[in-house]
Chains A and B, each alone.
Chain A
Amino acid sequence: MEETDWIVKCRNGDADAFARLVQPYRRPLFAFLLRLCGDRALAEDALQETLIKIWTRIGTFKLGNRFSSWVMQIAYRTAVDQKRRRKDGRLFYSDVLPEWQSPDDPTRRLELDERRRYMHRALEELPENQRQVFLLRLDGELTFKEIAALLGQPLNTVLSRMNQAVKKLQKRMEHYRDD
């Protein structure tokens, strides 16, 4: 069965089909939301809300469009909405490094933790509008045209923000040792 088949079944209220449909999105969706929310509990709330929206609005998804984009756009809006409701000023990312399940090997854990911390800091130093584009592309895997439409910005603006973001990250990572 293909994704489209599960979507069609979902539209007829098939809950099992919904589980099959969204199962592959578990990790990418959560990772994306965690990066947007910057906090595990908030990301879990946002994930629950995203799943509800996907289920209740599946009838409005236009078959033939990219389902993954639709899902990630809903996730993005949910995260933005959540931040707006909390009125905590920052839209993306918090200063808290989200905890995660580390591997058992201590050396490997240390190395991965270091790399994560480094990346986190580098991302956090980006201006919000650049980080937004970068996350939507890298974690949300949206195309630049989709990002432009989602943010209501001209494509050229989005492309130049991506350039600036990558340039800054690159500069930051020059100091980080290679494998």
Chain B
Amino acid sequence: MTRKQSHLCKGFHKEVWLFIDASLSPAQQRKWQLHLKQCSSCRDWLQQSQKTLAKYRQAPAADIDEMRFERMIEAATRYPQKRIFGQRLWIRVAAAALILAAMGLGGHEIALPGLKALLSSSGEPVSEKRMVDALWMKADPLDYGGTAIDSVLMTMNESLLQLEEELFLFADTELYF
């Protein structure tokens, strides 16, 4: 085995799972396909790994009784659904006003305190950086020069939903790890 090959093999071992998932760039996928054709050691290694996974998948998994599952579903739907930003018009209007204010006055510093007040009603811990990232990634004021208020409202609504989802995931992470 040449030095070049062993370097390639190392690279392949590093990316093999992304390769199997086909989540590399097309060029990179092709590169490893080619390498597999030429390198029997990586080919064997890949085959062995896949065989192991297949064995794992063949081992029977447990199941739960259908009736019991249905009762669980029913029990779940008795809980009230969280509707923080989706339903109430005044919140959407307030949010849009905030974003418009920020656009006019040039910065999220203006919008943040108001946003924070809105978000605090959800009871989730929230850092300013996280809010800015989540919000402005979706709603860059530069994109809204001269757009109708409706589309601003819609995007704002979407941003807030996404933000809420991120906060939910974020809050869990922070608490549990």
Residues of A within 8 A of B (CB): 11, 13, 15, 18-19, 22-23, 26-27, 30-31, 34-35, 40, 44, 47-48, 51-52, 54-62, 73, 77, 80-81, 84, 98, 100-101, 112, 115-116, 118-119, 137-139, 143-145, 152, 156, 159-160, 162-163, 166, 169-170, 173, 176
Contact = CB atoms under 8 A, between A and B. Distances in A.
Contacts of B56: 119, 138, 169
B13 interface: yes
Nearest to A55: B76
B64 A26 contact: yes
A55 B79 contact: yes
A112 B60 contact: yes
- What is the interface of chain B mostly: helix, strand, loop, or mixed? helix
A81 B172 contact: yes
B156 to A, nearest CB: 15
A48 B72 contact: yes
Nearest to A162: B17
Contacts of A118: 59
A56 B18 contact: no
B7 interface: no
B54 to A, nearest CB: 11
6 contacts: A19-B74, A27-B63, A52-B75, A56-B81, A57-B81, A143-B21
A103 to B, nearest CB: 9
A56 B14 contact: no
Contacts of A138: 53, 56-57
B27 interface: no
Contacts of B82: 56-57, 59-60
Nearest to B49: A166
Given A27-B63, A31-B63, A100-B63, A173 B75 contact: no
Interface stretch (B99-107, B142-150, B162-170): B162-170
B81 A62 contact: no
A151 to B, nearest CB: 8
Contacts of A55: 76-77, 79, 81
Given A30-B69, A34-B62, A170-B51, 8 more contacts: A13-B81, A15-B74, A30-B63, A31-B63, A35-B61, A47-B72, A81-B176, A166-B49
A22 B73 contact: yes
B177 interface: yes
B126 to A, nearest CB: 14
Interface string B13-45: 111111001010000000000000000000000
Contact of B73 (A19, A61, A81): A19
Contacts of A77: 172, 176
Nearest to A156: B14
B55 interface: yes
B173 interface: yes
